Structure formats: C-alpha cells, structure tokens
Structure 1
C-alpha cells in the first residue's frame, strides 16, 4: 500500500537553488466547459470541454529575512528554468515532484506592518506558469 503524504514537508527549487517557503498553494488542473441546449428539445443539455481554463498561479509565502532582497521581489521576472516543488515522505526522501513550466513572478506583497503587534513578517508571491508536470 502506498504511503500517504503530509503537506508539511516540501522543498522548492528555482534555478537549481533551494528556496525555503512556509506555504505553497494553487497547484491545480482544470478545464473550461461549454454547455449547449439542444434546439427544439429544452430538456436536453449537452456539456463539451473547451480546453484548459483559468489562469495558472501559485501562491507562495515565506518569512522575511534581514539582508538582501529575495529574487522573487522582481515582479515580471521570467525564470529561465522550471520551478520545482518536491514533496517529502516520512524519511525525508522525495516522494512526489511538481515541475512548473515557464514561471513568471506575477506579484509580490510584503506582510502587514503593525506597531502594536509583534509577529513574523511574511512575504507573499504569486507565480504564473503555463503548465506543470507531476511525477
């Protein structure tokens, strides 16, 4: 029986460099559908696939570190290599890999600054991609 994976152990690589992220979301596949009502027979509805649908965007979050800016702060940056997310098993070995093709940094949003609260500052990045491979 295959081991069920948890979503808390993963690694992210961009350009062969490991980048630590706290959260990655937005991995999905979908297809747009078109509905067609058959003429003259109003009780018949047909549904046809139109093709890949919707914008493909990953949302990635990480804590802000002092010092140099993160490479993803460059909105519009097209990564020359795929973005790779590896899911790790209980032993810390790669159990599943998502490879995102043609990644582009779509947006960067720094965490909220609040003088009355002392909490970790989190950067949020949105990365658009053309498609992804799952292994």
Structure 2
C-alpha cells in the first residue's frame, strides 16, 4: 500500500513554476561564468524529429514515414540591457562572433529551482554558439526597459531531472 501512495504522490506533484530558473554558461564545459546568470526569459527549448517519406513501389494507398534526423530550435535568452564597467564574458563572446567571425562553443545549463533554491531539473545545451543578437526598439514615448535578445545554436541538448 505504501508503494501505491508513493506512486500517486509522484504522479500528482504540483507543477513547477516557470519563474525560478538560472542560466549558466560553462567555460570549458565545467566552470560557470559568474557574471552572466540572470535572464528575464528563456525560450526555444524544443526539438523534433524530421521525417522522410518513402513511396513503396506499386503501393499507392500509403507511404512510409521514417525518422531522418533531429532538429533543434535556437535557444533564445532575453534580459535587460547591461551597461556595466565590468565586461560581460557573454557580450565579449557575441562581439567576437559578429565582429571577427570567431566562435568558441561552450555548454549552457538552464536549471529550474524549487522555492527553496534547490535545483529540480533543467537542460544542458552542448556546443552552443551565438547566431543572433538584437536589442528592443528605442521609443521616446515609452518608459520600458531595453531588452537584449541573444540566440544560440547548439549541437544537441539533454534533459536533466533531479
């Protein structure tokens, strides 16, 4: 009976809230960047299997759909514009990519936390590198925060559950 209750409790856990997360850029795959941690929004965490359609000779009623390859969307990170005398390693990496076409892929860890700060899961993005950088519109009639939007391509990601 105790095992059944444990299974029910596991299945009925409260949904995780989306506002407790951290983004960690891992230099050399291990050492986290201590400056670029806080982001307003993370999106693009998705993948899908691309299918190939094969027609069978003489069979006109249906086609075979078989897995071909996996596609990953870009990881999109948004945060308030940072104007600081301390250079941001992330901004330096983006500047190197767009100004001198120099890329240094690194791993990126997106972690979701409980209310008490304990990590409960996340995703690790392998060999991530900059592919797009944009800044929100500047509007003299608005009183809103300037948002930096940074996009990273990556080779694959792994789901982490703790």
In the superposition, the TM-score normalised over structure 1's length comes to 0.87
- Report the structure number with the largest CA radius of gyration: 2
- Tell me which moved more, 6-15 or 120-129: 6-15
In structure 2, the gaps of 5 or more residues are 1-8, 27-31
Q: Which residue of 1 aligns with 2:24?
A: 13
Tell me, what secondary structure is at the counterpart of 1:112? Answer: coil
Q: 109, 123, 127: which is aligned to 1:98?
A: 123
* Residue 62 (1) aligns with residue 92 (2): no
> Structure 1 residues 46, 83: CA separation in 2 closer, same or farther (over 3 Å shift)?
same
Aligned positions, number: 134
- Once the two structures are superposed, residues 58-82 of structure 1 have per-residue CA deviations (whole angstroms, 9 ceiling, x without a partner) of 0110011322464234262644541
Aligned with residue 47 of structure 2, among 17, 29, 34? 29
Per-residue deviation, residues 78-134 of structure 1 (Å, max 9, x unmatched) = 445411111112322100021111010111101110111111110000011101121
8 Å CA contact retained: 2:106, 2:129: no
- Pairwise CA RMSD: 2.0
Structure 1 residue ranges (4+ consecutive) displaced by more than 6 angstroms after TM superposition: none
Q: Indicate which of 149, 159, 162 corresponds to 1:124.
A: 149
Q: Pick the structure with more helix per residue.
A: 2
Q: Which gives a bigger RCO, structure 1 or 2 (Cα 8 Å, sep 6+)?
A: 1
Can you give the 5+ residue segments of structure 1 that lack an aligned partner in the other structure?
A: none
1:36 Cα deviation (Å)?
A: 1.9
* Aligned equivalents of 1:32, 1:75: Cα separation in 2: 32
